[in-house]
Structure 1
Amino acid sequence: MKLSGTSTGLLAALLASASFGTSGVLAKPLMESGWSPVATVTLRALGGGLLLLPVALVSMRGRWSSLWRARSRVLVMGVVGVAFTQLAYFAAIRTVPVSTALLVEFLAPLLLVGLTWARTRRTPQRTVLAGSVLALAGLLLVIGPGAIRSVDLVGLLFAFGAAAGCATYFAVAARSGDGLPPVALAASGLLVGGVLLGAVGAGGLLAFTVRGGDLPMFGSPVVWWVPLLLLALVSTAFAYAMGITGSELLGSRLASFVGLLEVAFAALFAWLLLGERLTVLQLLGGVLILAGITAVRAERVTEPEGQVAELAEPAAVEPVKVPVALDHLHSKAR
């Protein structure tokens, strides 16, 4: 059975969400052994980019001109979608709770809805508005109702900066007119972002600490590079390649709503691999996010053909979704 472009895009976006959702359980052993968040995400981005590089080179088939045409997209993906999103998130969690920062950052789909509204001057259909409400409610249940609280204004602004960076990631990923293959955009963007994050760490703006030797992982001692390799391969290289592919096929808005499932997958993997508590409210939250995605998807089906093409265009980036735990549950690195 041959899948349609939309079905393929949904599958790719779902695989990306699941892969990004593993970042917390894979980064946790490193950070608990003394690795700083910036060091973890820098080596994750560089490792993911290097792992994708051979595949990216093959996918380009000598069409180097496409890389030049996509140079602005690569730079925005690396600088904003990868590096800026991570730095803004880290700055936010210095003064606001992790759960609050995550909730604000994952408002990226709503930013895309609002930007499309402003750009087209056309009120979103009720299905999109209903889907936005359902997805936001589901996100709140998965992260925890305690995410809504009085917080530091500066930290909150940084969190909104991370949300803008995340929205930019989806927008840049969806613009495919330059002919650059998704895996090539993922590889080049990760390498650019990783180098920039490394420069920040080397400059002493944020702590850059690594530790060698063995560390505990899922109850067994492993050498330090094992979780780092899995983090770079599964949570970064594969996740970004699938995420960008899904965004190109679905458009930035729908892909960003599917991306909300990352939080639900993170909770699921923490329960399966770390034995952390998975509540009924979190399960309900996952169901609400799925309902929200279904509602947003329904608009694309009911719109006239010409308007569907417009909605598929990007309206306005984690993971690198960045490794920082939410009650040792979620790692955000986009």
Structure 2
Amino acid sequence: MSRTRATTIGFVAVLLWALLALLTVGSSPTPPLLLNTICFTIGGIIGLIWVQVTGSWAQLCRVPLRVYAFGSIGVFGYHALYFSALRAAPAAEAGLIAYLWPLLIVLFSGLLPGERLRLGHSVGALLGFAGAACIITGGGVGFQAQHLPGYGLALLCAVFWSSYSVGSRLLGSAPTASVAVFCLLSAVASGLLHLLVEDTVWPIGALGWTSALLLGLGPVGLAFYVWDIGVKQGDIQMLGTSSYAAPLLSTLILVAAGIAAPSWGLALATALITGGALLAARASGTARVKPSINRTLR
């Protein structure tokens, strides 16, 4: 598979994640771990179908246990934190903070073998965090102390997913079919923890169940598989940058659905976070071009 095609496939995940906040709100008041259980069960079933169609059962047996542990912790941790953040803070604000992960992917990818962190990466990071600070200190609905835990969870969420995505690049030999195991193990872990720490509240009515089902099919299902292809075989820095289509689309969808109120502060926060990612990606692009020029001159 070509690098360009893999990058394009990975971007499908970005489009699916644009619906993550809306569907999470629609599934309320189902608690985070129970929602994790429902969604990952659906995502795991999708994976088993993928494995059966592609005949990948033998490949799964050869995957090291450390890869299964890494992947399961990554997908479980991100969504447990994300769902918890959106239950503890306003959806638009928590969602934008969580969407610092594309910028962090660009930054962390500079630590990969053969890559380096440049000035544009650092300035981009500052812009991204300025956007998050704008949200917390009044850019959206205004700073509300009772939502501080939700903001913190959203930030941890961003760190978790960016670390998982960059780490996946180092595990590039693991087949995409292994994501099915990540989902199923995450479903089991979520279910057990739910029984220990949460009250059982199932999705309510058609809206609740439809939202949970669509979460499992798309943002917490198919998205994992296409993203795995993208980060392992595609341009990870380009994916990290293009992923900022997700918070833009996500915020617009929340505003259109009447869940978030439009405001200049929210627009400024979105612009800062998106601009930071674009600046970081520009630095990455320059870094790739210069070595090519130098090789040509030699």
Q: What is the TM-score with the length of structure 1 in the denominator? A: 0.67
Is residue 2:126 matched to residue 1:133? yes
Q: Distance in 2 between matches of 1:4 and 1:295?
A: 26
Q: Please list every run of 5 or more consecutive structure 1 residues that lacks an aligned counterpart in the other structure.
A: 218-223, 309-334
> 1:228 offset after TM fit, Å?
2.3
The aligned counterpart of 2:13 is 16
1:248–1:287 Cα change, 3 Å: farther
Q: Distance in 2 between matches of 1:106 and 1:227?
A: 21
- Check conservation: 2:101, 2:158, Cα contact below 8 A: yes
CA displacement, residues 87-134 of structure 1 (integer Å, 9 cap, x when unaligned): 455677888877776566444456556656667798622332333334
- Check conservation: 1:107, 1:163, Cα contact below 8 A: yes
The aligned counterpart of 2:280 is 296
The aligned counterpart of 1:231 is 215
1:189–1:8 Cα change, 3 Å: same
Is residue 2:205 matched to residue 1:208? no
Picking from 172, 183, 189, the partner of 2:182 is 189
The aligned counterpart of 2:37 is 42
Picking from 236, 244, 253, the partner of 2:228 is 244
Q: Please list every run of 5 or more consecutive structure 2 residues that lacks an aligned counterpart in the other structure.
A: 293-298
1:46-61 equivalence runs, <5 A = 46-59=41-54, 61=55
Q: Distance in 1 between matches of 2:114 and 2:173?
A: 27
More helix per residue: 2
The aligned counterpart of 2:295 is none
- Check conservation: 2:106, 2:277, Cα contact below 8 A: no
Q: Which moved more, 1:15-24 or 1:123-132?
A: 123-132
Q: Which moved more, 1:98-107 or 1:234-243?
A: 98-107
- Check conservation: 2:84, 2:153, Cα contact below 8 A: yes
1:307–1:243 Cα change, 3 Å: farther
Is residue 2:261 matched to residue 1:277? yes
> 1:22 offset after TM fit, Å?
0.9
Q: Distance in 1 between matches of 2:167 and 2:52?
A: 20
Letter in 2 for 1:269: I
Partner of 1:303, secondary structure, is helix
1:273–1:127 Cα change, 3 Å: same
- Check conservation: 1:135, 1:289, Cα contact below 8 A: yes
> 1:12 offset after TM fit, Å?
3.6
Q: Distance in 1 between matches of 2:147 and 2:256?
A: 34
Is residue 2:192 matched to residue 1:199? yes
> 1:47 offset after TM fit, Å?
1.0
Is residue 2:258 matched to residue 1:263? no
Is residue 2:62 matched to residue 1:78? no
1:141–1:299 Cα change, 3 Å: same
Is residue 2:66 matched to residue 1:69? no
Q: Distance in 1 between matches of 2:56 and 2:9?
A: 25
1:91–1:282 Cα change, 3 Å: closer
The aligned counterpart of 1:322 is none
Picking from 3, 9, 17, the partner of 1:5 is 3
Q: Distance in 2 between matches of 1:152 and 1:290?
A: 23
| Percent of paired sites with the same residue | 19
> 1:209 offset after TM fit, Å?
1.9
> 1:160 offset after TM fit, Å?
5.4
1:229–1:92 Cα change, 3 Å: closer
1:36–1:69 Cα change, 3 Å: closer
Letter in 2 for 1:124: L
> 1:201 offset after TM fit, Å?
0.7
> 1:195 offset after TM fit, Å?
1.2
> 1:284 offset after TM fit, Å?
5.0
Letter in 2 for 1:27: T
CA displacement, residues 45-97 of structure 1 (integer Å, 9 cap, x when unaligned): 111221232123333x3462455235422321112x12233445567788887
Q: Distance in 1 between matches of 2:147 and 2:213?
A: 36
Q: Distance in 2 between matches of 1:159 and 1:262?
A: 15
> 1:251 offset after TM fit, Å?
5.3
1:274–1:49 Cα change, 3 Å: farther
Q: Distance in 1 between matches of 2:228 and 2:93?
A: 26
Q: What is the TM-score with the length of structure 2 in the denominator? A: 0.74
The aligned counterpart of 2:27 is 30
Letter in 1 for 2:201: T
1:141–1:259 Cα change, 3 Å: farther
> Aligned Cα RMSD in Å?
4.1
